[in-house]
Amino acid sequence: MSLVVMATGGTGGHIYPAVATARELISRGHSALMLGQRGGMEERVAAEQGLEFVGVDAGKLARSGQGLADPRQLLRAATGVVQARRVLAERKPGAVVGYGGFASLPGILAAQSLGIPTVLHEQNALLGLTQKLAVGRAKAVGTSYQGVKGLDVNKAALVGMPVRETRLERGAALRQLGLQDGPLTLLVMGGSQGSLFLNENVPGILEGIFPSGLLDGRAVQVLHQTGPRWIEQVTPRVAHLPWYHVSPFVDAVAAWSAAHLGVTRAGTSTLAEAAFHGVPLVMVPLPESAENHQFHNATSVQAAGAGRVVEQKDVSGRLGQAVLECVQPGNLAVMRGAAHSRAQPGAAARFADLIEHHLSPTP
């Protein structure tokens, strides 16, 4: 069996699919190593998941797609490639798998310079910038969507979005999160790092539509993941609401297992986890996402009957109404079924099949 290196990091949308795939490969007898930015979120997640981690420097790519943000970032990226080469030359993996994002680039470029097979995963319908830099020498690209723009169809394999296919019984999930069993439970999650916009706007809107934490006599509770940067700003704003719980991080499996409805952005990873757990969503797409892909992601969920889209410019007038529509008992049950119908179970297994097909022989 082979060692497979997961080159990933930056955000949960890149990290957790790598964790899911690593778990699948380990179950098949392989070993897995997470390679990412030293001190990044991926280092913490790897420790929590009991996965081996090696950190390197990583230069942050500019959102504009015009290359690295400045020469210092270019130097960090080059240093990271050198560091990753040392790690890979010593460990001799059978493949290196890249999940996009700036933190994946040193591992992928280092592997390609050493002739180690590389496989990529593209989660969006548009090939990302870091993937564009690596795709020419990659063996294959697993995708979440059919027909990824900018990707040669001969390299593409539709596998779906790998998620951690683990559920908890709702009561157990609520106990783990310190929540009550019985109330209508809303999850507010702006991605693994949190969303400043959701943090600033959602608490006040939910307080306005749920007087005293009640909806038609039924108790309501909110679990709001703020991200670590914003926890100190959000906490005092909801301190007077005993039913509104905030945390810098939450265990995603427990949170999705407990939730009746999510208020989220519309990244592919978030939507895939919600679908696996059958949680309807009120989605506020990030307007700055590349080619507005989050808006298109969200409208596909809405078209399937599994959620409502509220554009960021309309949040103050429409978010509360959308939440109230979704939590009506009849609507919630129908939307839950629609959410389940969007799930792509087995994505991690399909991607692991693709990786195994391109593994180099074990030395």
192 annotated ligand binder: yes
12 annotated ligand binder: yes
Hey, what's the torsion of the CAs at 223, 228, 230, 233, to 10 degrees? Answer: 80
299 annotated ligand binder: no
**CA pair distance 96, 3, nearest whole angstrom:** 9
Q: What is the CA radius of gyration of the chain?
A: 21
166 annotated ligand binder: no
Residue 324 CB: number of other CB atoms within 10 A?
14
13 annotated ligand binder: yes
The CB-side HSE value for 36 (13 A sphere, CA atoms) comes to 31
**CA pair distance 17, 22, nearest whole angstrom:** 9
**CA pair distance 81, 87, nearest whole angstrom:** 10
- Number of H helices and number of E strands within the chain? 14, 14
**CA pair distance 46, 7, nearest whole angstrom:** 12
Q: Which residues are annotated as a binding site for UDP-N-acetyl-alpha-D-glucosamine?
A: 11-13, 124, 164, 192, 294
Please report, in range form, the residues annotated as the binding site. Answer: 11-13, 124, 164, 192, 294
